[in-house]
């Protein structure tokens, strides 16, 4: 029997908003969502933000003091626990700041920082070791799409990143076609569903049907309040990873308001 997956709406702030702006943004978001919950019901969706590292302590303090129903995570994590790795951030540090999640393998990290599938596999293992839920990003470039079709590259990236992983890890996979990120040209819901279904099949092969069934698969790439409904209607899409639109509180809150009626 299929399990009920709690939809996740995740805002990836990238390198935007300093810690003061982060406080104002999270406060405003919490207010807007409270209102939404009251008026429309949030449908049990989980709302997460991914601020820059320097904002995390401020965000944690605010969320815990005001008991806000928003979770948060880092945008990257080191493969190492501690030591002489200048500029790196340990999963242990993120965990001690109450991070629930960490984004791993965003295409901007792959592209600008040369992060390889092998390294990302070690980062996934590090995140799990420290009790963080990895939000593993996979996705093809426009060139990949032309050469290999829609799902070959994302599936290969997923396989590579999960190579050393066994058991039943708590994991989120974000399908983010590189050509759709920040371009205003989102994938169609059918394209997202096609790849998400393949990714779920791959999860079943690698980790078994139960894990595949429980794992949330997000779509990311030019998600907005105007297109979220169509993505959420797809059976294998369990939420969204939102970049640009997550910086606009009203816009992000309307994306998060989206309810998915699972099981019908």
- Residue (of 240, 180, 183) closest to 216 by Cα position: 240
Select the residue interacting with ligand PGA from 130, 243, 252, 258 (CB under 6 A): 243
Q: How far is the CB of 78 from ligand PGA (least distance, A)?
A: 20
Comparing CB distances to ligand PGA, the nearer of 120 and 223 is 223
Look at strands 8-12 and 46-50 and give their pairing.
Answer: parallel
Binding mask 119-158 for ligand PGA (x = CB under 6 A): ----------------------------------------
Q: How far is the CB of 21 from ligand PGA (least distance, A)?
A: 18
Q: Distance (Å, rounded) from C-alpha 225 to C-alpha 219?
A: 14
When asked if residue 244 is in the footprint of ligand PGA (CB under 6 A), the reply is yes
Of 35-43, 158-166, 228-236, 242-250, which segment contacts ligand PGA by CB under 6 A?
242-250
| Cα end-to-end distance, the chain, whole Å | 13
Write b or e for each residue in 235-262: b if 16 or more Cβ atoms lie within 10 A of its Cβ, otherwise e. ebbbbbbbbbbbbbbebbbbbbbbebee
The length of the chain is: 264
Q: Distance (Å, rounded) from C-alpha 140 to C-alpha 176?
A: 8
Select the residue interacting with ligand PGA from 131, 182, 226, 235 (CB under 6 A): 182
Number of residues that bind ligand PGA (CB under 6 A): 13
Where do contacts with ligand PGA occur on this chain (CB under 6 A)? 12, 176, 181-182, 220-223, 241-245
């Amino acid at each position: 029997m299929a399990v009920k997956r709690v939809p996740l709406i995740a805002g990836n702030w990238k390198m935007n908003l300093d810690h003061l702006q982060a406080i104002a943004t999270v406060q405003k978001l919490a207010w807007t969502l409270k209102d939404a919950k009251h008026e429309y019901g949030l449908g049990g969706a989980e709302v997460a933000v991914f601020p820059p590292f320097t904002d995390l302590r401020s965000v944690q303090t605010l969320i815990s003091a005001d008991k806000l129903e928003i979770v948060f995570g880092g945008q990257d994590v080191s493969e190492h626990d501690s030591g002489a790795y200048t500029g790196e951030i340990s999963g242990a540090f993120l965990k001690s700041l109450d991070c629930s999640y960490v984004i791993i393998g965003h295409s901007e990290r792959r592209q600008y920082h040369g992060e390889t599938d092998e390294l990302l596999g070690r980062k996934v293992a590090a995140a799990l070791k420290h009790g963080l839920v990895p939000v593993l990003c996979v996705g093809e470039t426009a060139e990949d799409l032309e050469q290999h079709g829609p799902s070959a590259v994302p599936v290969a990236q997923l396989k590579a990143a999960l190579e050393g992983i066994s058991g039943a890890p708590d994991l989120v996979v974000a399908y983010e076609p590189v050509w759709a990120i920040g371009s205003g040209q989102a994938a169609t819901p059918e394209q997202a569903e096609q790849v998400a279904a393949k990714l779920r099949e791959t999860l079943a092969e690698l980790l078994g049907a139960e894990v595949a069934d429980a794992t949330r698969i997000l779509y990311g790439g030019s998600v907005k309040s105007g297109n979220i409904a169509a993505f959420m209607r797809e059976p294998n899409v369990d939420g969204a990873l939102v970049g640009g639109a997550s910086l606009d509180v009203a816009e992000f809150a309307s994306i998060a308001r989206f309810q998915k009626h699972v099981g019908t």
